[in-house]
Amino acid sequence: MSAPQLLRFEGPVRCVPGPGAAGVTLQGRLMQGTEPTAAAELSLMCDEAPPLPREIADASIEIQAAPQVVVRSGAQVWQLRCSTWQLHRDVGAAFYAAIPPRPTPWTRRLGWRVLLALAATAPGRWLLSRGQRAAP
């Protein structure tokens, strides 16, 4: 038997119905160590609709041997029978921090500078408007 898995949410946790008729999705900020991470969703596919309120605070979820899941919030404890669960984390910030933006090619920067310099003068605006009329 494997050790139970413990997930902790920090602050308010919304309980949204679904997936499925008897499922529930917990939405909030998941704790990793001592720091809250980005938004996370824990979807529980239960055997019957769980009696969770719309919002709970500082929830800890203990995922024991299938199909037992225990949700704790303060003094309240809910024991759910779930067939499966899925954890979704927002990794966008970490992804974009690891991959720097691509630098703009110098030809494109030069083209925009020339276009803006033309648009700043009366003859340049006339020239740009002539090119606009010629287009079909």
Domain ranges of the chain: 5-94, 102-134
User: Which regions of the chain does DSSP assign to beta strands (E)?
Assistant: 5-17, 23-32, 35-46, 55-57, 59-63, 68-73, 76-89
**Tally: H helices and E strands in the chain:** 3, 7
The C-alpha atoms of residue 7 and residue 44 are separated, in whole angstroms, by 13
Task: Read off the pTM.
Answer: 0.62
- C-alpha dihedral, 124 to 129 to 134 to 136, nearest 10°: 130
Structure tokens at 103: 């630098």
Q: What is the pLDDT of residues 42-55, one digit of tens each?
A: 888 887 877 888 88
pLDDT score of 34: 62
- Residue 126 pLDDT > 70, yes or no? yes
- Residue 75 pLDDT > 70, yes or no? yes
Helix axes 106-119, 122-134, angle to 10 degrees: 110
The tally of CA atoms less than 13 A away on the side-chain side of residue 123 is 0
Q: What is the pLDDT of residues 97-106, one digit of tens each?
A: 888 888 899 9
